[in-house]
Amino acid sequence: MYFHIYAIHSSYVKIFFVMITKETIKHLAVLSRLEFTEKQLDNFSHDLENIFNYAQMLNEVDTTGIIPSSHAMPLQNVFKEDRVIPYHNIEKIMANAPLEESHAFRVPKILAD
């Protein structure tokens, strides 16, 4: 609904052209709690469209019969033991808190008025 995809079929290769609109960028900005100026919206939609269409090159490869992979390495079943090893540098993590209260990260009110 936010991505306009046009497909051009050849014998076995599908080539898509993706159009990223300003609406798409606005939607992503809301989801990420970001605010953009009109100019930024224009720039980002243009840039993202270029990035997407560059990646479309991958569609030129015939992947018939190849199982999609989710990891770069042909690995499976990597586990850790269910054992507690306390981390000893917690204060370093807490130092990232812009505001700290009762050993917790203090954040502004969550729901808008």
Partner 1 sequence: MSWEVVIGLEIHAQLKTNSKLFCHCSAAFGDTPNTNICPVCTAMPGVLPVLNKKVVDSAIKLGLATNCKINSINEFSRKNYFYPDSPKAYQISQFDKPICLAGYLNIMVNNELRRIDITRIHMEEDAGKLVHQGSDNISGATHSLVDLNRCSVPLLEIVSEPVIRSATEARLYMEKMRQIIRYLDIGDGNMEEGSLRCDANVSIRKRGDIKLGTKTEVKNLNSFKSVEKAINLEIDRQIDILEDGGTIIQETRHYNEATASTTSLRSKEEAHDYRYFPDPDLVPIVIDELWIETIRKELPELPEAIQKRFVNDYNLPTDHSVRLTSIKKLAEDFENAYKNRKNENITPLETANVALKYYDYFLSNNLDFSKSNHASFQIGGLTFLVNTSTVSSSTITSILPDIVNTNYDPIEYVKEKGLAQVSDTGELKSIIQDVIKENPGPAEEIKSGKMQTIGFMMGQIMQKTKGKANPGLANKMLKELLGIS
Q: Which residues bind partner 1 (CB under 8 A)?
A: 27, 30-33, 70-73, 75-87, 90, 93-94, 96, 101-112
**How far is the C-alpha of 13 from the C-alpha of 20, rounded, in Å?**
22
Question: Mapping DSSP to helix (H, G, I), strand (E, B) and coil, where does residue 113 land?
Answer: coil
Q: Shortest gap between Cβ of 29 and partner 1 (angstroms)?
A: 10
Residue with smaller CB distance to partner 1, 32 or 63: 32
- The whole-angstrom separation of Cα 20 and Cα 78 is 38
CA 45 – CA 52 distance, rounded (Å): 10
Closer Cβ to partner 1, 8 or 78, answer by number: 78
CB of 10 to partner 1, least distance (A): 27
29's tokens: 């900005």
Q: Which is nearer to partner 1, 37 or 96 (CB)?
A: 96
